[in-house]
Amino acid sequence: MGIALALHVVAVVVWVGGMFFAYMVLRPSAAQVLQVSDRLTLWVEVLSGFFRWVGLSIFLLLGTGYWMIFGGFGGFAGAGAYIHLMHGAGLLMVVVFAHIVSMPFKRMTALIQQENWADGAAELARVRRLVGVNLILGLLTVVVATVGRYGMI
C-alpha cells in the first residue's frame, strides 16, 4: 500500500501543483510581459507539455486509487466517506480535463496556428476558467483527503 500511496500523492502534486503554478504565477506574469501572440504561443507549448503530465497523473491516480480501495479497504463498501468524496471529485476532474483537451484547447491550438489571436485568446479564457474549476476541485480534494484520514469527514 505504501508504494500506491506514494505514487498517488506524487500524481496529485504534479496535477494540482501544476495547475496552481500555471493559474496563480505563470498566467499573471505572462500577461504582464508578453504580447498577445507570444503569450498565446507560450500557452500552447506550456499546456501541451503539462497536459501530457496530467494524462500520466490521471493514469497513476486511477490505478493507485483503485489499488488502495480494493487492496486496502476491500472495495468501496469498506472505504470511508472521504474516499467516496475523493473518488467522485477525482472523476469529475478527469471529465473536466477531458473536456478542456478535446474542446477549447484543441480549438485554441488550431486558432493560434492560424494566427487568429482574438479567437485564440477567447478559447484560452475558456481553458483558464475550466482549469480554475479543476484547481478548486483539486484543492478541496486534498483537504478532504487530509482531514478525512483523521475522521474529520
Where in the chain are the domains? 2-148
The pLDDT of residue 67 is 98
Q: What does the pLDDT look like over 83-122, one tens digit per residue?
A: 999 999 999 999 999 999 999 999 999 999 999 999 999 9
The pLDDT of residue 130 is 98
DSSP label at residue 25? I
- What the block records as the C-alpha cell of 30 is 505572462
The pLDDT of residue 152 is 84
Q: Which of 73, 76, 62, 78 is CA-nearest to residue 8?
A: 62
- Given a cut of 90, whether residue 135 has pLDDT beyond it is yes
Write down the residue that cell numbers 494524462 correspond to: 55
Q: Which of 137, 138, 134 is CA-nearest to residue 105?
A: 134
**3-class secondary structure, 55:** helix
The pLDDT of residue 80 is 94
One-letter amino acid at 77 equals A
The pLDDT of residue 131 is 98
Q: d(Cα 92, Cα 134) in Å, to the nearest integer? A: 9
Q: What does the pLDDT look like over 41-65, one tens digit per residue?
A: 999 999 999 999 999 999 999 999 9
Q: d(Cα 112, Cα 106) in Å, to the nearest integer? A: 10
- Given a cut of 90, whether residue 149 has pLDDT beyond it is no
Between 1 and 41, name the one with better pLDDT. Answer: 41
DSSP label at residue 78? G
- Given a cut of 90, whether residue 151 has pLDDT beyond it is no
What torsion do the CA atoms of 36, 13, 61, 108 make, to the nearest 10 degrees? 0
Q: What does the pLDDT look like over 3-44, one tens digit per residue?
A: 999 999 999 999 999 999 999 999 999 999 999 999 999 999
The CATH number corresponding to 2-148 among 3.40.91, 1.25.40, 2.60.40, 1.20.120 equals 1.20.120
The pLDDT of residue 153 is 79
**3-class secondary structure, 115:** coil
